Amino acid sequence: MRREKSQSLLARAERVIPGGVNSPVRAFRAVGGTPPFIVRGEGARMWDADGNCYLDYIGSWGPLLLGHAHPEVLSAVEEALRGGTSFGLPTEREIELAEMIVEAVPSIEMVRLVNSGTEATMSALRLARAWTGRELVVKFEGCYHGHVDSLLVKAGSGVATLGIPDTAGVPAAFADTTIALPYNSTAAVEQTFARYGDRIAAVIVEPVAGNMGCVPPAPGFLEALRELTQRHGALLIFDEVMTGFRLAYGGAQQIFGIRPDLTTLGKVIGGGLPIGAYGGRAEIMRRIAPAGPVYQAGTLSGNPVAVAAGLAMLRYLKQHPELYAQLEERTARLAAAAPPGIAVNRAGSMITFFFTPGPVTDYESARRSDTARFARFHAWLLERGICFPPSQFEAAFVSAAHSEEDIARTADAIREFFAAEAAG
Ligand code: KE4
């Protein structure tokens, strides 16, 4: 594939933007080559500056559950735009989105809209510390909750992809309030609560991890977190920025039947525009200013245009519940393309091909993957017009726009890669 235009755009970008990108994972550092500079997307496809077309499995890292430029999202945004872009005063549309979230996610009785998943998790942590009067937070190695200072400890996503030392720029005092444990290790959580129980404000967890690659919870793990936090007076925070409205209309918590105290959301609820949200039990949420003493604010929080996109997304998903089974079935078809010796983890429309025999149940086992081999896999697909996330430690996303033919073409390309490898 020709890449001259993207190469010159990257050189130009690197003169004025660190690494030439506005988010590290986009830089293709882990897989090599030049990241394609995208000019437009439609459905399951996107086109780069050199005119190359790709089947897109990045999906903007999760928001595009319906694919690019979905007509109902576009028309909702166009209609909102005609009325202006932001007011700095409340609008009815924000109430409508909040009401849909509250109706969809039983553990959320009240919700605050913000501008990103990072803002959502940062705010949820502040609220948990205020509610409990405690300081320590438990997270899990390989989970990523945005670039919140105290959560950039043994984080996943771009931190794992680039192998960045955990706390560059984060004072030890912040990192020291975070306890990072192995994902799926109930014993480690029990020991930690036995030792620090009355100092732990919250446990924050991706109920299905996506940021070390896709790693589902072991049976009983989430239930143990719920029981231990309840017993020790800590809050359980489900970070559903990636899984919310993707794995089910009610998120991972609907699938596992667990009610966290707080939930963070993002991505899908903004339809591809900047958004985040945190919500939970009303008695806890009422501590948030101006109702209570915990300050959190944002110039563009609940932005009318982003909220319009999110409303269109959620209304469509609510009207088409059959989508979730379709996404599950098509993603399973992709998983079946991998040969023995490749650990494939998936949950709903999230999937990761780990280049290790596995099983991959936590960050340590994920890191046993052969990332150089993954890079060859990624390049093989890219050359055939199929764009997977450029990192072994990310989840690929199937959208409702990926047709049966798209899935079959991708599965064939995956099989061809392994056949070519075997043929040497
Ligand atoms: P944002 O601040 O990027 O909107 O959300 C942070 C975040 C929080 N929680 C979870 C579970 C997340 O997956 C994320 C962001 N996910 C990454 C992709 N793995 C965003 C991609 C990027 O950093 O560019």
- pLDDT tens for each residue of 22-43: 999 999 999 999 999 999 999 9
Residue 171's pLDDT is 85
Give the residue whose CA is nearest to atom 1 of ligand 1.
117
Give the residue whose CA is nearest to atom 9 of ligand 1.
145
Q: Are 122 and 266 in contact (CB under 8 A)?
A: no
Which residue among 145, 392, 397 is best mutated to probe the pocket of ligand 1, counting the most ligand atoms within 8 A of its Cβ? 145
Whether residue 211 has its Cβ less than 6 Å from ligand 1: yes
The answer to whether the bond into 359 is cis (omega within 30° of 0) is yes
Give the residue whose CA is nearest to atom 6 of ligand 1.
146
* Catalytic machinery residues: 144, 239, 267
Distance (Å) from CA 61 to ligand 1 centroid? 7
Residue 343's pLDDT is 98
**What is the atom index within ligand 1 of the atom nearest the CA of 243?**
11
pTM for this model (two decimals): 0.98
Query: Which stretches of 248-390 are assigned E, i.e. beta strand?
Result: 262-266, 276-280, 343-347, 350-354, 386-387
Distances (CA, A) of 351 to 7, 34, 229, 363, 394: 29, 24, 29, 16, 9
Tens-binned pLDDT, residue by residue, of the chain (424 aa) = 999 999 999 999 999 999 999 999 999 999 999 999 999 999 999 999 999 999 999 999 999 999 999 999 999 999 999 999 999 999 999 999 999 999 999 999 999 999 999 999 999 999 999 999 999 999 999 999 999 998 988 788 888 777 776 667 888 888 889 999 999 999 999 999 999 989 999 999 999 999 999 999 999 999 999 999 999 999 999 999 999 999 999 999 999 999 999 999 999 999 999 999 999 999 999 999 999 999 999 999 999 999 999 999 999 999 999 999 999 999 999 999 999 999 999 999 999 999 999 999 999 999 999 999 999 999 999 999 999 999 999 999 999 999 999 999 999 999 999 999 999 9
Give the residue whose CA is nearest to atom 24 of ligand 1.
23
Distance (Å) from CA 420 to ligand 1 centroid? 34
> What CATH number should be reported for the domain whose range is 4-69+322-423?
3.90.1150.10
Whether residue 116 has its Cβ less than 6 Å from ligand 1: yes
Distance (Å) from CA 147 to ligand 1 centroid? 8
Domain borders along the chain are: 4-69+322-423, 71-319
Distance (Å) from CA 210 to ligand 1 centroid? 9
Please, which residues have CB within 8 angstroms of residue 238's CB and are 6 or more apart in sequence?
107, 205, 206, 207, 251, 252, 253, 258, 260, 262, 263, 264
Whether residue 59 has its Cβ less than 6 Å from ligand 1: no
Cα separation, 113 vs 116, in Å, equals 9
CB atoms near residue 98 (< 10 Å): 19
Distance (Å) from CA 76 to ligand 1 centroid? 25
> What CATH number should be reported for the domain whose range is 71-319?
3.40.640.10
